[in-house]
Structure 1
Amino acid sequence: MRTLVLLVVAAASTVRANSSPLVNVSVYSEALCPDCDRLTEGEMNEAVEKIGEIFSLHFVPWGNALLNPDGSFNCQHGEIECAMNTLEACVLKYYPSRSMWWPFIVCLEAHGYSQTWEIAQKCAEKQNMTWTEVKNCAEGPMGKLLELMYYEETASLNPPHQYTPWVLVNNKHIKETHIIKKICAAYQGANKPKACMHTQQFPPINGCYKEPVE
């Protein structure tokens, strides 16, 4: 019995010794931005699927939007971008598990400029989300409050973001290429996923710059 206890303790100690903090990845994004869509559908989705166990993902749906003096928002791709940004913020609030909100965002942004409330509803229902809950949030004061929070976070970036998608790995901005390789390099664990050794090449991301705003 004593031998078994010692083995369990030794195994636990080994797990603690081999464990390592997750890499912190943040993506500052906006709906309807082609380069954001490309990153979401492409390399970032590949990262979530293949090396998701070694990093946390923080998603900020504000991008290059502006806060007007009257408290309204002015978005780079018009009112539908503002609506979809806010909807994504509400999904993040009500479904904080990445296994829920990330597939929704991939589904929505796969439609590019064709994103609509109807498509968003289909994406939400595909994830077994309560559509009325997130829609009411997006159209009400809670949605605006959430977007103001993301505005403040985006505005506080240092150095300021120049375009979207703007990606941070452990709080440092990286170019939006070879993201999987860079996450793997930042991970200090002893056993890295096999995908770290065989990374797929994705087209470069040019980014949606802050100007012009329609």
Structure 2
Amino acid sequence: MAFYSCNRYRLLVLVLLGLIMWQVFQLLPKKQVQVTEDIVELEDDRYNKHKKDKVKVRVYYEALCPDSKHFFIKHLSPVTQKLSEFLDVTLVPYGKATTKEKNGQYIFNCQHGEEECYANKIHACAIHALNNTTQAVKITECMIIDNLDADAALERCAKDVKVDTDQIIGCASGEQGSALLKKHGDDTHIISPTFIPTITLNGSKGNQAAILKNFLLEVCKLIDMPLPPPCL
């Protein structure tokens, strides 16, 4: 009896050991996956600080200004595409225009004529309707390439960003467009630009020559380490 009791005891111990080992092996792969997931998450979060603390870019420009056109095409659009997660871009279409109020209505006088005033309103209304940095830069860069006929430019460029052109044209033709352009005028007069376009980075309009020459470099100088690949 003692022999059989001893065997039963050993068998029970072996079964328990087997169960324990099975449980251990069950847990090991899960631990490994969790560690891998943590590493991937850590790598993805490397730039989270920068994405939360974005470089604030404000572009004061005119819809028919050749220098504004050059900056949008050669600098603003490509840099925004590369660093969209690191930039907070505000577009201010007004430039060297002036605003007067007569009989409760705003009257604008723009550097390149009435066509520019209307094109500025189209830009202002499109920016307001999209309410998205990347999309706003995309449509304004497309329109500014050929903005003499602002309605045609809008129709040509709206397809890529899927925005209601009728809503934007209605805005630009009415009181809302005038109110938006007046606001852009107020914002522009605060910094009193001597050249259009003028670009501010984190509220500073210093070093304009460098910004207009190499916008990417000047933006990258304001991003803390680790720098994103486009800045390397």
Q: Whole-Å Cα distance in 2 between the matches of residues 189 and 152 of structure 1?
A: 36
Q: Whole-Å Cα distance in 1 between the matches of residues 217 and 46 of structure 2?
A: 25
**1:72-91 matches, cutoff 5 A:** 72-91=107-126
Q: Which has more radius of gyration? A: 2
TM-score (norm 1): 0.80
**1:41-56 matches, cutoff 5 A:** 41-56=73-88
2:170 corresponds in structure 1 to 136
Q: Whole-Å Cα distance in 1 between the matches of residues 194 and 93 of structure 2?
A: 15
2:49 corresponds in structure 1 to 19
Q: Which has the higher contact order (CA 8 A, sep 6+)?
A: 1
Cα drift, residue 116 of structure 1: 3.2
**Cα distance, 1:118–1:22 mapped onto 2, change above 3 Å:** same
Deviates further, 144-153 or 66-75: 66-75
Q: Hey, which of these two has a bigger chunk of helix by percent?
A: 2
How many residue pairs end up in the alignment?
192
**1:71-110 matches, cutoff 5 A:** 71-110=106-145
Aligned residue among 178, 183, 188 for 1:149? 183
1:127 aligns with 2:161: yes
Aligned residue among 62, 68, 77 for 1:30? 62
Cα drift, residue 49 of structure 1: 1.8
Describe the SS at the equivalent of 2:199: strand
Post-superposition CA distance 1:7-43 (Å, at most 9, x none): 859x66x948962211111100111000000000111
Post-superposition CA distance 1:99-156 (Å, at most 9, x none): 32222111111115x3432222221234221111000000001111111111111111
**1:2-17 matches, cutoff 5 A:** 4=34, 15=45
Q: Whole-Å Cα distance in 1 between the matches of residues 93 and 163 of structure 2?
A: 19
**Cα distance, 1:16–1:141 mapped onto 2, change above 3 Å:** same
TM-score (norm 2): 0.74
Q: Sequence identity of aligned pairs in percent?
A: 24
Contact kept? 2:121, 2:181, Cα under 8 Å: yes
1:211 corresponds in structure 2 to none
